[in-house]
Amino acid sequence: MTKLVCRHCGEVQDESEAIREEVPSPSGGKHIKALCRACGKYIKFLCQWHGSPKLYFGKYKDKTVEEIANVDIEYLKWVLANGIGGAKVERAIAELINKSA
């Protein structure tokens, strides 16, 4: 279980104990925000990836890593080599490349 520490009051709690609040994301989905159970202030967003992450830049903007892999694996290799996708995207790309190797 992941431990969360509130930067405001110092309360330590399990992720499952935090207050959860749904907030709309810019892409039309929803994010889950963890709030401190003691003071009610923001701690962090809880990641809940379902399926393949999307790219939010470039010629394949709003396409999932899996969709891109089906048409242009070289582009994904370029994204990975240049470190511009972010940790989750890069991890998904590396997994796809390792599976296809």
The pLDDT of residue 56: 85
Query: Token match 């940790």: residue?
Result: 87
Average pLDDT over the chain, rounded to an integer: 86
Domains identified in the chain, total number: 2
In a domain, 53, yes or no: no
Condensed to tens digits (0 to 9), the pLDDT of residues 8-24 reads 999 999 888 889 998 88
Q: Are residues 39 and 63 in the same domain?
A: no
- Tell me the H-state helices in 1-101: 65-71, 73-82, 87-100
In a domain, 66, yes or no: yes
Closest CA to 49 of 4, 92, 96, 14: 92
- Residue 12 structural domain: 3-46
DSSP class of residue 51 equals: S
In a domain, 52, yes or no: no
Would strands 30-35 and 12-14 be described as parallel, antiparallel, or unpaired?
A: unpaired
Report field, pTM of the whole predicted structure over 0.85: no
Q: State percent of the chain over pLDDT 70.
A: 89
Closest CA to 80 of 70, 68, 71, 92: 92
